[in-house]
A and B are shown apart, each in its own frame.
Chain A
Amino acid sequence: MIVERACIAGALILAALSTAHAQLRGTGDLGIVIERATGSVRIVDTSARAQIGRVENLGDLSHASAVYSRGGRYAYVFGRDGGLSKVDLLQARIENRIMQAGNSIGGAISQDGRVVAAQNYVPGGVKLFSAETLELLADIPAVHGSSGERSKVVGLADAPGQRFVFSLFDAGEIWLLDASDPRRPKIEKFPAGLQPYDGLVTPDGRWYIAGLYGEDGFALLDLWHPGKGTRRVLPGYRQGEEKLPVYKMPHLRGWAVAGRRAFVPAIGRHEVLMLDTETWEATGRIAVAGQPVFVVARPDARQVWVSFAFPDNGKVQVIDTETAEVVRTLEPGRAVLHMEFTPRGEAVWISARDDDRVLVYDTATLEAVAQLAADKPSGIFFTVRAGRIGF
């Protein structure tokens, strides 16, 4: 009897141990691929170049994005329908999920990893949540003007000093939010210009830059010295040239800085704009295949990869940042929506929505080296984002 019990207990311990061993692994080479139409994500391993899991029931994931817990185990997925899901990459399951708004567009995570912020179109504003429990900590309505109207919020990013910064599309303002006490956040407001459509924080965490749709130029805020206010960058960059139709808004997050040179998408011009990050003066323009949507640097910043709006969304162009020339035009598939580099940039993963696949390119040879099936893939988010400012 006693022997029998001991044997059972031993077997159970062994079983538990072997299961634990089988699952023991790091998350530094993991990520997710959003499947926008089915409301699911595929969990991928960028070393094995393979899918290791799939999580469903995440709601409307059109224009979904994700940020990571600083341990790299949990992805916070923001859905269009206002859903905020905390997904466990290791167990391929939903740890927690709330509906936090009617129409949402993304989010950010604080410097210390304790606060998740969501940016919402309806009702327009930002909400702060506990990263641990998803408990609501603060609700910041993006109220502007005298009538109490609420603006759509865009371009939310984290900034050093436990801050968040975002733009109000309808109000033309930039708000800087101090979440040191996340239940009682402090807000400073700055003028941006007409219709800021997205924004970003530079990799060093010093600058916030908002792209303007309603006028030529960008608004710049020095996060070291916010008291100096915003200033206009690249004013009148279209120089009276014809504004071409923009069939999809560019995204700024994940922007490209190589040395002193930053690369940003033009609006209504088939060009990538270059500017000097010391002086914030224009230093040149590069003609590209269409309206740029994503302009992102390989982690070592030797290359910048550009994707495009409809109808040129079957192409991707690679710019050599040393010569500022397009060195290759790739055709990865129909409706390229996103590009994500592996942590040190030997490969880039590209989603081709209408081909239902994700392609992996070797960034040295510029050749496709692998592909994975995915149902209408859109955003690709790797855990390397967990440790990066502005992601």
Chain B
Amino acid sequence: MNQAMEFGLAMLVCAATASAADPIGIPDAGRQQELIDLLRQDCGACHGLYLTGGLGPALRPQDLHGKPAESLSEVILRGRPGTPMPGWQAFITASEAGWMVERLLKGLPDDR
């Protein structure tokens, strides 16, 4: 078995394990902090540190209101063709994206 296949299989096993053990896909506390930091700092590069918008649109609860969570997850994972929004699926699993969307819809702590 080559390395790429091995890696792919390992990812599948991980994904399966994660969803089996944790159907709503809540990342552990350490990973949650990483994802919040990612939202603030790296998403924030285009969307603003407080997600008030920049080159990318604002991502506060009032800005996302009425948008289906699944399609927001899809944008995080696969990006938006025709815009600068890249897909982040190399760094974020589907369940993590779902958790991030949930957090965005509620509003991040300390947001303005």
Contact = CB atoms under 8 A, between A and B. Distances in A.
Contacts of A152: 55
B86 A62 contact: no
Contacts of A340: none
Contacts of B54: 63, 80, 103, 105, 121
Given A197-B84, A245-B86, A248-B42, A80 B55 contact: no
A249 interface: yes
Interface in A154-211: 154, 169, 195, 197
Interface string B74-86: 0000010010101
B30 to A, nearest CB: 15
B79 A169 contact: no
B49 A60 contact: yes
A311 interface: yes
Contact of B91 (A60, A103, A311): A311
A353 B41 contact: yes
Nearest to B50: A60
A60 B52 contact: yes
Interface in A347-387: 353-354
Given A121-B55, A247-B42, A103 B49 contact: no
Nearest to B84: A213
Interface in A67-126: 80-81, 103, 105, 121-122
A42 interface: no
Nearest to A291: B86
B48 interface: yes
A354 B82 CA distance: 31
B102 to A, nearest CB: 22
A152 B50 CA distance: 18
A62 B50 contact: yes
Find the residue from A36, A63, A105 having the highest chain B CB count within 10 A.
A63
Nearest to A36: B49
A245 B45 contact: no
A102 to B, nearest CB: 8
Contacts of A80: 48-49, 52, 54
A246 interface: yes
Contact of A62 (B49, B55, B84, B88): B49
Contacts of B84: 195, 197, 213, 246, 249
B87 interface: yes
Interface of A: 36-37, 60, 62-63, 80-81, 103, 105, 121-122, 152, 154, 169, 195, 197, 213-214, 245-249, 310-311, 335, 353-354
20 contacts: A37-B49, A60-B48, A60-B49, A60-B112, A62-B48, A63-B45, A63-B48, A80-B52, A103-B48, A103-B53, A105-B54, A121-B53, A122-B53, A169-B55, A245-B86, A245-B87, A245-B90, A247-B45, A247-B88, A354-B41
Given A60-B49, A249-B55, 10 more contacts: A36-B49, A60-B112, A62-B50, A80-B54, A169-B55, A245-B87, A246-B84, A249-B46, A310-B45, A353-B41
